[in-house]
Each structure stands twice: as C-alpha cells, then as structure tokens.
Structure 1
Amino acid sequence: MQDIDDIKRIRIDTAIKEEQFRQTFEHATIGMALVGLDGSWLKVNEGLNTFLGYSNEEFYKLTFQDITHPDDLNKDLQLLEELVANKRKNYQMEKRYVKKNGQIVWAHLSVSLVRDDKDKPIHFVSQVQDISENKKLSETMLDQNRRLLNFAYIVSHNLGSHTGNLTMLLDLMVTENESLKNDEYFSHLLTASTNLTETVMHLNEVVKINIQSLDNLEPLNLQQYILNAISHIQASITSTNANITNTVSEDIYVAAFPAYLESIILNFLTNAIKYRSPERTPQIKISAKVKNEQVIISIEDNGIGIDLDRYGTKLFGMYKTFHNNKDSRGIGLFITKNQVEALGGKIEVKSELQKGSEFKIFLKKSKKVEPQTEPTPNN
C-alpha cells in the first residue's frame, strides 16, 4: 500500500508542476518557447507571437536559425552545443531577431536544456525578453558620451592654449615690473591663473583616461612599480619618519598602462602620508594577492581616516575634499578611480576615523611576457 501511495503522490506532484509550468508558459509577459534540438519551434507562447509578429503556424514552419540575425547565429549555436555536451547548465546572451515585417529587434535570450531520466537531451526551453528600447537608449547615451568627450577634448585643448598664453603674459609683466609681486590684486590674478591651469590639466587627464583602449594593456610587474613609487616619494617618507612595509611578491603581474599604474600607486601612497595622524608615526602596509584572475592590491595606513558614513558616496567625486589639509585639491581620488576603472578594475575602501584607512584596488591579472630568444645561427 505504501508504494502505491508514493506513486500516487509523485503523479500528483508531477501533474501540479506541469500545470504550473503551463500557466507560466501561456501567461508570461515575455516570450517563451520549447525548441527542438534541430532548432525547430515546438511550442511558443503569446508573448513571443506579439514580440516577433509570427503566428503559431508560421513559427512551426521555421527554425530559430531562420529568424536569428546572421551576426549572432554562430555564438548562439556554439552555446547550444556546449549545453548539449553538458559543458554548461544554461546560457544567456543578447541577440537580434528578424521580425515578420523584417524589422531587426534586440532580445535577451535565456536557454536551458531538458533531459530525460537517462540524461538524453529532449528539447530546449527558451525565454526571450524584448530589450530593443534599452538598446536604443544605451546607443543614444553612448553617442552622447562620445559627443561630450569630443567636446571636452576640444575645450581642454583650447583652454590649454589660452591659459598658457595668460601665464606667459603675467610672467612678462612681472619681469618688466617686479613691484607687481607686492600688488594684492596682481597676486590674486596669479593665483587665479594657476588654479585655471591646474583645472585644465585635470580635464586633460580625464579626457586621456576615457580615450584609452583596453586592447593596449601591458603586463607590468607590480612589485617593481611599487618600489619605483616608494623611491619617488623617499623625501616625504624621510621627513615624516613614515614606515612602509611592502610584502608584494615579485612574480605578480597586472594588465595596465604604465603611466596609470604608476599614478595609481603614487596617489594612494602620497595620500597615506599626507593624511597621517599627528599623534603617531605613519605606518603604511602594501600587500597583494591573486584571486579569480584578479590581483587585489591592499594599501593600508594608520592615518586620520575618513568618515565614510558622511562622505562615502562623495569619496571619489571631483573636487571633493574631506580634511582641512592645505594641499587638498579633491582631484586625486577622482582621477585614480577613473584610471582604475579604465583598466577594467575597481576600488573598495574601509576607513575609521583616527584609526586609518585601507584601499583595495582590483586589477586584471597578467602573465609575465618572456623575452624572445634569438634563433641560434647554423654553423
């Protein structure tokens, strides 16, 4: 009796699940379909009919290959092969379909494979969500960003010429009349000119960051760049009695632009010294570890810290300062964050007031490129 009851219960559970799937399939607002192993449409819901404009009868005379944009077909087929070969459980991709009226539309496709009790593939279950409007919006934003970037480049270039001329004219005025050095208004004019020049330099830096291509990243030895940065700020280290502990292994390489990596490390080290606590000797610890094809660089200090509850969302903003240090400009972290993100990385920060801060920089791992040996000439 127990076995019969178990069988009945399994049948009832199966019937409930099948009904739930049927209801979900038929009433889903997104497109759903059962697709044969050869790409034929076995069953489609109303959501897919509405999205692509084909009736059920028209779908059943086609395969998904027939209405997939040619540029997206190979990737789709490759992922299907991996699914059938049990190399993956499911996959998602953005692809283009050809509607009945010939219009090209974008969709987010999610596919899973149904197998029988012997693990033999039966059919695919596809979910198709219309993302055409999102794509149009993204393309519009990208176009606007390109226009803004081009505008910023032109402005920074032209302003650079004007500020250079202004600085030169002010220098000439002082050369011809040294008494101007004591003139209060002229002093304010010099300060304004210097600040304008710095602003243009910062704008140039931001523009340079945004036009770099990730295709040109180089394998760089992290330890060597840290040692170079430490040597560059040796005077500051000596004058503040700072102690820097560097435990980064010599065999860690990151994918980066040389100028960016140098700038990133220098900025964090100089900040650790600049925002030191007057109550204790500056202690700076630099370490790195490799995890999931990423290099995580940690730079930790015992400085005055940052109130993240108050300033956390503004920490990497342009011209945002959080201490009364006379050298603060509010540009360093902004540029550093943009440089790290331009390298495909990210920054995380932990900080506590009067205890110190820890910045973690995530960059892509790279392999050391061995120098090619010259072929030995034949004797």
Structure 2
Amino acid sequence: MKQLIETENFRLEPFFNLSADNLCITDFAGYFKKVNPAFAKLLGYTEEELYSKPISEFIYEADRDLTAQHGQNLTNNVPLYNFENRYVSKAGELVWLYWTATPSEEEQLVYAIAKDITHKKELEEERVSLVTNLVQANEKLKQLNHITSHDLRSPVNNLVYLVEMLDTSKIDDGVTLQILEHVKRSADGLKASLNAYVDAITENESLKEELENVYFDEVFQEVKESISTLLSSSKTEFVVDFNEAEYVPFERKYMQSIFLNLISNSIKYAKPGVAPIISIKTQVDRGRKKLIYIDNGLGFDMKKIGHLIFDLNQRFHNTDDSKGLGLYLVKKHVTSLGGSIQVDSKVNQGTTFTIVFGA
C-alpha cells in the first residue's frame, strides 16, 4: 500500500507543477506550504518568498478580514467554494482570484485552486460604469419630462381655452380676430418652448470628449500586459502592423476598451482545441484611418444575426459568462466620436471588424 501511495504521489507531482491553474497547499496556521509554478509566476514572487510570510500579508488589505473569516471556516473543516479576493503582486498590481478549497482536518492542511479573474473584473467595472451612465441619463430624461409637462401646461391650456371661445359665425368680428391673434401668440409660445427643450436634449446627448493622439501600439501593449495571464493560458498569437497609421485622434480609454473587448471576445469564442490567432493592422483610405481586426474564432452567421451583433445584451454562443455588452461598447466608443464599424464573419471561419475613425 505504501508503495502504491508513493507511486500515486509521483504521478501527481507533474500535474501540480504543470497545471495552468494556480494550485497551493496551506496549513491551518495561515502559511503556504507548497505552491505550483503558475501561482508563483502570477504573483511575481519566488516560492521561498511566498513561504516566508503569512498568507494575509499577500492579500489586499481591504479583503483580509473577509478572507480570514473564510479561513476560519476551513480550519473548522468547511470547504470553500466560489470565493473571490484580491492579492497584491510583487509589482504592486491587484490580482483577482476565484477560489475553491478543501480542508484536511487530519493533516491540518488546505488544498486550494485559484483562477485568475482579473480581466473579468476589469470588464465588470466597465459594465458598472456604463450602467451608471445610463441611469444618470435616464434621470435627466425624467427631469426633462417633468419640466416639459409643467411648463407646457399653461400655454396649452390657454390655447384650448381660446379655441373654445371662438365663434365661427363671427369670423369678421373684431373680437374674434383678436382672439385668433391670441391663439397665434400661444401657438408661437408653444413652439418656442418645444424648440428650447429639443435644444436641451441635444446638449445633454452631446459627448464633448477631449481627443488626443492615441498611438495604437502603446495601447495594444498596455492591454496585452493587463491580460497577460489570459493570453498565456490561451496560447493566443498576434500578427500586428500599425506602420501605415501609427496613431489617431481619439479618446485613450475608449481605445483601451476597444482592444480589451475585441481580444477578450476572440479568446472567449475561440474554436475548441485551436489557439486564437489575431491579426490587427491599420490602413489609410481616402484620408480616413482604419483599424482592421481579424480572428480565427467561431464566427457568426451574418444572415441570422448580423443585424444584432452590436445590440445591447445580445449573446450568440453558449458561454455562461457572456453578458452581451462588449461589442455594444466597442460600437458606442467608435460612433460617439464620429466613426463607424463594420463586421464580416462566417461560422467557424473567424470574424473581421473594420473600424473607420472620424475625420
């Protein structure tokens, strides 16, 4: 039996060391006893550095109390599922981890698996920001509706009252003509009010963004770094050429969002067993700068869903974590600054996005 156990341990060692997931074993005192290379690489520490201090010192300060509570449950032999917290890497960056852990009371050890969900959290923050903006815009529209209904009440009521006073049998009568003049003035007042409200709506809907020369490669590299673990685990390859147009007047945070959402979607909707290959290049066509993005993923049936691709809350593949927001955001960012975006795709043959930036 002992020989069998030793053989089994030998077989598990490569699994532990080669796993792309972040694996660790901790003791009930709150120290790492063993971590796999993927976990050490994610946090940027050596294994010796991780073993040298209590686990709590690697956890983001705001998450330590809640993590300690779950840690206490583990020491009471209660397994941990679906727990998220933040660690601080050696470089000072926050890393979101999604934990599953099982305690062994007999060994006084905890066996845990952590998935890096940092890129998902970044997308969630963007979604929260969008929802917040939508709520604020909705509140403004509600307020405008209240103002309109209140301010138009008097001139409309006045107009109705004057119309009721009209005596059609006395069209040539001076009083009637005077009343008609009042009707005209009331109508003019109503028109002026409506014009003012239309102008107010237009002003609220206008996004006055301060544009800067955004260099494609700089933003691309920033986004790659932010999702480096995801790119590594998915074995994503890039073919990039920004030589024809190195920069474009744009909003930097919008460009970051465009790259992040397109790349994340290419990885999420990659063909099973096929590493994503993403081609990104720029062109200049009749004075307009273009960004052409191509992947080799699952693609879409354009005849069935081509008209829905950029709509909010649309989902086209059976992926549980899809929220139907990424492509909506991409189009919103592009069109809000005077640009346009087109898509061409075939099932199992990948997708091409062509972004034409505003003049």
Query: TM-score, structure 2 length as denominator?
Result: 0.45
